[in-house]
Amino acid sequence: MPIQSYISKHQDIVQLIYFAMILISLWGSEVVFTNNLFGEKLKHTRVNLLFIVTALPIQLFMISLVLLITVWTHQHHWGLINYLPFHKNAWVYYISLFILMDLCEYTYHVIMHKFDFLWKFHLVHHSDLKVDVSTTVREHPGETFVRTSFLMLWVFLLGPVATVLVLRQTVQTFSNIVAHTTFRLPRHINNIVGLIFITPNIHQVHHHYKLPYTDCNYGDVLSIWDRIFGTYAELEPQETVFGIDTHMEPSTNSRFINVLKIPFQKLKRM
């Protein structure tokens, strides 16, 4: 079976293996090259990894629906991509859809911050008091459902084929994991790379515990949207405090069940 065909039909499995390999590699690097005590880091990671157990079944089921939508849109020549000039050129097709889907993910992220009901699920991700590579998987299963539902909407509106999603998810996975590492790029390199792409330096600002920084740097892969829409911000690492100001209690944030209950409690305001 051709590799492209296998990937298209087993995107969920391929992405899971790819995700796990990068996550494990960077987690090990954080242990070796940072001052984190192994025991404390393992305890912190254990809490975040439990979210995979609750979110993975939802993710796998919803992705299968996403792939069904891609088949339907392709068969019916449906989606915005079909109205763009030169869309039959492979370069135009793939690059245009990648950029448009990244804009959609930026939009999704902003929406999760601006509506109280959705924010209650998303703040679970922000409640981590020690952001590292394991924070990537700290996603409430309720948000997993919402996120993949929005993905279904984006696919329906844009009309990408499955191979576009594979490319997009591959780059997005790598970008998201790297953005949550404890490593930071040297300032001069970040100033160059960060003009276009989200870096750990940029995303760590988004995890600062107080406004206005929590509502900045929404970008997924590309940082251009934050610059275009005025949501870009910088903050020195020594001034960055991880968490969310309404949920700074270690006793809550370090226990999986307590964190899982957060969206169903009354929303705290500071």
Share the mean pLDDT of the chain.
Answer: 89
The mean pLDDT value for 136-157 works out to 96
Beta bridge partners of 132: none
Is 40 part of any domain? yes
- Whether 124 and 138 have beta carbons less than 8 Å apart is answered as yes
Residue 136's domain spans which residues?
A: 3-181+257-264
Any domain includes 165? yes
* 233 domain residue, yes or no: no
Kindly list the distances between the CA atom of residue 184 and the CA atoms of 157, 158, 178, 190, in Å, as whole numbers in the listed order.
36, 34, 10, 8
Tally of domains within the chain: 1
The DSSP code for 242 is: B
Examine residue 214 and state whether it is found in any structural domain, yes or no.
no
Q: Give the 3-state DSSP-derived string for 85-135, with helices as H, strands as E and coil as C.
A: CCCCCHHHHHHHHHHHHHHHHHHHHHHHHHCHHHHHHHHHHHCCCCCCHHH
| pLDDT of 165 above 50 | yes
Structural domain contains residue 215: no
Alpha carbons 45 and 31: distance in angstroms, whole number: 12
- Report the pLDDT averaged over residues 214-229: 96
pLDDT for residue 121 = 96
* Residue 258 CB contacts under 8 Å (≥ 6 apart), including other chains: 251, 252
pTM: 0.89
Q: Note whether residue 164 is domain-resident.
A: yes
Q: What is the pLDDT of residues 108-122, one digit of tens each?
A: 999 999 999 999 999
How far is the C-alpha of 262 from the C-alpha of 247, rounded, in Å?
Answer: 9
**Within-domain flag for 153:** yes
Predicted local distance difference test score (pLDDT) of residue 72:
94
Of all residues in the chain, the percent with pLDDT exceeding 70 is 91
5-14: per-residue pLDDT in tens?
555 555 566 6
Residue 203 lies in a domain: no
The letter for the amino acid at 102 is: D
Identify residue 159 by its one-letter amino acid code: G
Note the pLDDT tens digit of each residue in 237-258.
999 999 999 999 988 888 899 9
